[in-house]
Amino acid sequence: MGLKISKILAIPLIFSSFLFDINNEFNNVNANVKNSPANKNDLDLYHGMGVSFLCNATRKGFDLDFPKTLNVASVTFASVVSQKHGGKIIERKKEQTVDMKKLQFIASLQLVESALQVCPDNVPEKIEKQFKIETERLKKLQGL
C-alpha cells in the first residue's frame, strides 16, 4: 500500500519538475531575445483586432457597454505593444519608446474612428461627440 501511494505522489512530482525545467529553458531563451519594435504591419494587425472586438462585442444581441469595451480594446492594444515589443514602435523609420497612456489614448481614438466606419450603429452618440471634440483638439495642438 505504501509503495502504491509513493507511486501516485511521484507522478505529479516528476511532471512538475519536467514543467519547471521547460519553464526555465523558456525563460532563458526569452531573456536572450530582444523585442523588436512594432512596425506598421504589427500596429495595423492589433488595430484590426481591436476594431473587430469592439464591433462584435457591442453589436445587437451582445450589447456590451461601449465605453468599457473600448477601454478593454485600447488597453489590450497598448499592453501588446508593451509586452511583445518592449513598448517600442517604428515611426518615420525611427525606433521610439512610447508612453503607454498616450498610446492607449490614441488607440481609443483610432478604434472609435474605425468603429464609426465599420459599425456606426454600435457607437453611442455621446462617444461620437467626444471623438469629434478630441480630434479637433488634437488638430489644434498639432497646428501649434
Rounded distance between C-alpha atoms, residue 144 and residue 127, angstroms: 26
Q: Where are the domains of the chain?
A: 1-33, 35-143
Q: Is 90 helix (H, G, I), strand (E, B) or coil?
A: strand
- pTM, whole model, 2 decimals? 0.73
Return the pLDDT at 13. Answer: 43
38 grid coordinates: 512594432
Model pLDDT for residues 82-139, shown as the tens digit of each residue: 999 999 999 888 999 999 999 999 999 999 999 999 999 999 999 999 999 999 998 8
Residues 122 and 61 sit within 8 Å (Cβ to Cβ): no
Rounded distance between C-alpha atoms, residue 4 and residue 137, angstroms: 72
State the pLDDT confidence band at 35, using cuts at 50, 70 and 90: confident
